[in-house]
Chain A
Amino acid sequence: MTSFCDKRLNSPDELERVREDLSEHRNSDTKSVCVCIGPGCAAKGANRIYELFCEAVEQSGAQVKVKAKGVGCHGLCECGPIVIIQPGDIFYQRVEEPDVAEIFRETVLSDRIVERLLYEDPSTGKKVKSPNEIPFYKAQKRIALAYNGVIDPASIEDYIAAGGYTALPRALTSMTSEEIIAEVDVAGLRGRGGGGFPTARKWRSCRAAEGFPKYVICNGDEGDPGAFMDRAIMEGNPHSVLEGMIIGAYAIGSSQGYIYVRNEYPLSVERLKEAIKQARQWGFLGEDILGSSFSFDIRINRGGGAFVCGESTALMASLEGRPGEPRAKYIHTVESGLWGRPTNLNNVETWANVPAIINNGGEWFAKMGTEKSKGTKVFSLVGKITNTGLVEVPMGITLRQIVEEIGGGIPDGKSFKAVQTGGPSGGCIPAQHLDTRVDFDELTKLGSMMGSGGMIVMDEDTCMVNVAKYFTAFLQKESCGKCTPCREGLSQMLDILDRITDGEGKVGDIESLEVLAELLEGAALCALGKTAANPVLSTIRYFRDEYDAHILERHCPAKECRGLFRYEIDPETCKACGICLKNCPADAISGEKKVPHVINQEKCTLCGTCWEKCPFTAVLKV
């Protein structure tokens, strides 16, 4: 594409001139085809669709100027691959390769809508044209994800044309450090990584701390399983993170920044690297940014695949080239962090909120949300839910609204059992608390936490003891081993949970779990250990009957734990087709033509093959 900038921009005025040129170039008759290539859509083949659109654009030679863009996660992963045509905001879902030619011919060249690819509102059965009309998007409010799915993440021009890098010159030219921090303070922004610590307070302490140089860090080590919010931001709009960091660094008085990205996110690393390179070329990073005397640069480090490195002191140890073991935090990292210098660490989403706060003012941000939790929060809404995907909602919205309105409820006619928030440090919230408002403190009261934003919905088929075991096993494996309560305590808890799900639980096991949990909370060194028992405690609190059923009746009510339920064939539904009989590896099924088949419980190894293979769902778990 035409380069609008072949040299560093030396002043905010130069930037504005470039921005005007860019907008003019993108006059209204240019059409764009935005293909979502976020992780969900990419897994469904969106990259190929993007290539096909690029080819179509190349071959068309049409008078209409068309641009095909690969954009970051749009949110409604369930309906991917998603393609949006601008102008017009036409939302096509579940696009397949053969559809590309039709979309190009009909919609791009002839302004006609391809009805069959539109989203159908399940409540009215009507086809809707734009995302705003889809219930999934209606209740959302997008700040951190505002440009996700709109701009090309690999293009700094796109970000600038959309209004990016307006907060930075404003901060550099018309605001003092203290004014910036005050604005963030008024906004009431709290850390989006899990802790919920007030961002402004952290910045102020770091600014006031003695020692130089000072460092700012972006924590992109999104380790919670079931969470991909930060990934979506880093891959969908990397410049918003950079802009937030540059503003933060200016306010704090830092000249060097780091972004620590998970090893499992190679595309995030690539996008951020490209963004940093562009920002340096354009003069947003480096010496004398936009002609001011402020200098700042950012370096990327990849994680090594250790969950504990999401903890701030462990992350800093990792940045120093050491094993990622946390330390006790009686001296805060804002005073002595990376290399013993004052260090301010914030999460990806926190940084991405900063430019919007500077642009619109803290009061604007603080108008959204509850008394103590302001603004919006991004969640990855996944699990047993109809509309899986990425959502950004104003704080204060109820869990019910998220699950039912946005998420579209539980699929396959199943009933809701719990929603797990906060990753391995969080807990499971049951149906009776669905009207709780999403707020840092409210979720903590329920024994869960906001966490970084994973929201995993579970239905009646999910065994809550097994969920607790999953998280305990996860944490036991990821415990760094530095402190004994975490290293040994989690092993003991896992041992007990293993026994319970194997049908060998004993009376008193629940109490032992509670004692170990208390020990962890009180004595573990870092947040990983202190909160590690939350999944166990919250499931005991709300689903004690399931634990009891496992221990006392040797029965798994959700019929998930092998050995704690049986398979039986319903004679009414069985069509005697013989499929189960042929597939049974233990020869445990008998039956003849036209005679309903029967499982010999003594021979059955509970492998579940018959249950999977039966085309008539006549095999039941009882």
Chain B
Amino acid sequence: MTKDNEHIEQIVDNYDGDAGMLIPMMQDLQADCGYLQTEHLRCLSKRLGVPLSRIYAVATFYSSFRFTPKGAHEVTLCMGTVCYLKGAGQICEAITKEFRVEPGGTTHDRLFSFQAVNCVGACAVAPVMLVDGKYYENVTPASALEILHGLCPDEDTSEKESEA
């Protein structure tokens, strides 16, 4: 716990203890720990003098914050207009059916966390899916499933090539 405290202290200090920087602080916290933990938020609340309820109000408002551990891989499906017109809805359905995971959730085996986002800004090659930051263009329901079936549970995500 003290280690956690130090960690949060460090993050808060990076922003000079400015409570207005709550969002970036939580972003850093999530980047380090994978998700926002109750204990951490409680600690942050004390340190900043901001009520825990307000911290939750902010954290639950923005869709990028999560409260459960993420999977070994991060799968992001673009649901922007162009991707949608070109069949992203069917891809989403196929993934949900095959892996029993709703957008925003993580598979039971923690293989991957699945997010459906508004637009990743790569409309020219729609439909687009990202796996650990790597873009896959012109995805179809079949090719999406093939990519996801190829994911390995113990693979170190940090070594994955990150393209953007």
Contact = CB atoms under 8 A, between A and B. Distances in A.
Nearest to A382: B123
B125 A44 contact: yes
B117 A382 contact: no
A398 interface: no
B25 to A, nearest CB: 9
Contact of A228 (B117, B122, B164): B122
B82 A456 contact: yes
Interface stretch (A114-122, A319-327, A540-548): A319-327
A225 B21 contact: no
B122 A306 contact: no
B5 interface: no
A316 B49 CA distance: 21
Interface in B77-130: 79-82, 84-85, 117-126, 128
B18 to A, nearest CB: 8
Given A40-B122, A264-B120, A301-B23, A306 B81 contact: no
B20 interface: yes
Contacts of A478: 118
Nearest to B138: A43
Interface string A202-240: 000000000000000000001111111001000000000
B38 interface: no
Contact of B125 (A77, A223, A263, A266): A77
B147 to A, nearest CB: 13
8 contacts: A39-B120, A39-B135, A40-B137, A43-B128, A80-B125, A225-B119, A388-B125, A389-B124
A618 to B, nearest CB: 20
Interface stretch (B6-14, B61-69, B149-157): B61-69
B124 A388 contact: yes
> Closest 10 interchain pairs by CB?
A304-B62, A77-B124, A225-B80, A228-B121, A305-B64, A43-B135, A321-B22, A323-B61, A225-B119, A226-B81
Interface string A359-397: 000000000000000000000101110001110000000
Interface of A is mostly: mixed
Contacts of A456: 81-82, 85, 123
A43 B61 CA distance: 31
Given A225-B84, A228-B123, 10 more contacts: A223-B118, A225-B118, A226-B119, A228-B122, A231-B121, A264-B120, A306-B62, A388-B124, A420-B81, A456-B82
Interface string A316-340: 0011111110000000000000010
B163 interface: yes
B118 A318 contact: no
Contacts of B81: 225-226, 383, 420, 423, 454, 456, 470-471
Indicate the size class of the contact surface on chain A: 35 or more
A46 to B, nearest CB: 8
Nearest to A461: B85
B125 A43 contact: yes
Interface in A478-513: 478, 480
Nearest to A387: B124
Contacts of A231: 121
B123 A388 contact: yes
B24 interface: yes
Interface in A272-315: 301-307
B66 to A, nearest CB: 11
Interface of B: 19-24, 27, 57-58, 61-65, 79-82, 84-85, 117-126, 128, 133, 135-137, 161, 163-164
Given A323-B61, A456-B81, A458-B85, A39 B118 contact: no
Contacts of B123: 226-228, 380, 382-383, 388, 454, 456
B63 A226 contact: no
B61 A324 contact: yes
Nearest to B58: A323
A64 interface: no
Contacts of B79: 225
A382 B82 contact: yes
Contacts of B63: 304-306
A410 to B, nearest CB: 13
Chain A CB within 10 Å — which of B58, B62, B80, B124 has the most?
B124
Contacts of A307: 118
B164 A267 contact: yes
A97 interface: no
Chain B CB within 10 Å — which of A222, A223, A227, A420 has the most?
A227
B136 A306 contact: no
B136 A43 contact: yes
Nearest to A75: B124
A42 B135 CA distance: 8
A54 to B, nearest CB: 15
A477 to B, nearest CB: 9
Given A225-B119, A265-B121, A389-B124, A383 B65 contact: no
B137 A43 contact: yes
A359 B85 CA distance: 42
A306 B61 contact: yes
A339 B19 CA distance: 13
B96 to A, nearest CB: 15
B65 A224 contact: no
B22 to A, nearest CB: 4
A133 B19 CA distance: 55
A383 B118 CA distance: 16
Contacts of B120: 39, 264
A321 B119 contact: no
Contacts of B164: 39, 42, 266-267
A474 interface: yes
A471 B135 CA distance: 24
Given A39-B121, A47-B163, A226-B82, A321 B61 contact: no
A226 B80 contact: yes
Chain B CB within 10 Å — which of A264, A301, A305, A456 has the most?
A264
Contact of B23 (A80, A228, A318): A318
Contacts of B121: 39, 222, 227-228, 231, 264-265
B118 A301 contact: no
Contacts of A471: 81
B20 to A, nearest CB: 4
A264 B23 contact: no
A383 B122 contact: no
B69 to A, nearest CB: 19
Contacts of A306: 61-63
B100 to A, nearest CB: 18
Contacts of B64: 263, 303-305
Interface string A390-424: 10000000000000000000000000000010010
